[in-house]
Amino acid sequence: MPANLTAGNACSLWEPMTTLQQLKQLIEASSDSELKTQAAALLTAAETEVSGLGEEKVALLRKRDELLGKLNKFKKFEAHADVDIDELLQIKGRYESLDSESKSKYQKLYDKDKTAFDKRLEQIEKERAQEKLDRENEQKTLAAEKLKTTTILELSKPEYNVFDPEQLFMLVGSQIRLSEAGKLVSGDEYKEVAIADFLGGLKDQPRYQNQFKANGANGSGSIPSQGSGGSGTVNPWKKESFNLTAQGRMMRENLTLAASMKAAAGVK
């Protein structure tokens, strides 16, 4: 028996079947075979129809219970009698419209700010890249100046007999570098050549032989002995004859003369 059927419903459902059973018994007791055959056919059709009605009734009862359950579930959402449903729908429409407009407005502001931010970010990145490049160039310049000054001072030493250290540096400076230890060398990190050996090799090359003076000879920028009185000596501290190489050599070979030259040029 279906769960949704009461005892009364069940009895009323099966009452037609009881009547059909009585008719069936009467037909079986009849002696008229033709009437008996026709009645049996009608009885079978009636039984089928009654059976279908019973199943349909059960399905309808189930659907009714389902709808009643949904109704009870949503009763708490029923609108008050004084509430105007149309007005509620209008308010809902205005709210949705306002929300859409606000979203569009703020989206435009966001897009505008994002575009400005992206441009500024791109500008900052370019500025930083340029600053990095400037620092690298400055470091290269300082390193090149340091290498030049250090090399010229080294080439100015009397044991190398270099006529003009600045000129020689212009010719071979690209082959000289400062090692990690801060020493002047030639060659790469796998085969370093000391500066003295490098210069010795240059003296053996015809193209560089004129850059070196013979041992004991006075060359360009040489400083006469103090006994000569310094006559004809160019002052390397004066503006018109300023020469760092000659200054370095004079400071090493004759401090007294260097001091007088600096005083004459007004250098403290």
3-state secondary structure labels for all residues of 96-139? HHHHHHHHHHHHHHHHHHHHHHHHHHHHHHHHHHHHHHHHHHHH
Structure tokens at 84: 């105007």
CA 116 to CA 96: how far, in whole Å?
30
Local structure of residue 212 (DSSP, 8 states): B
Q: Which amino acid is at 227?
A: G
CA 146 to CA 148: how far, in whole Å?
5
Could you tell me if 163 and 221 are in contact, meaning their C-beta atoms sit under 8 angstroms apart? Answer: yes
What pLDDT, on the 0 to 100 scale, is given for residue 156?
92
Structure tokens at 63: 């659907």
What pLDDT, on the 0 to 100 scale, is given for residue 130?
93
What pLDDT, on the 0 to 100 scale, is given for residue 128?
92
- CB count in 10 Å sphere of residue 9: 15
The C-alpha angle 219, 221, 226, rounded to 5 degrees, equals 95
Place of tokens 């040029």: 265
CA 71 to CA 74: how far, in whole Å?
5
**CA separation (Å) from 256 to 10, 246, 262?**
140, 14, 10
Mean pLDDT by 10 residues, the chain (268 residues): 42 49 64 67 67 69 73 54 65 66 72 83 91 92 90 90 90 89 84 88 86 62 39 74 83 79 83
Local structure of residue 232 (DSSP, 8 states): T
How far does the chain reach from its first CA to its final CA, in angstroms? 126
What pLDDT, on the 0 to 100 scale, is given for residue 222?
44
Q: Which amino acid is at 1?
A: M
What pLDDT, on the 0 to 100 scale, is given for residue 163?
86
What pLDDT, on the 0 to 100 scale, is given for residue 28?
67
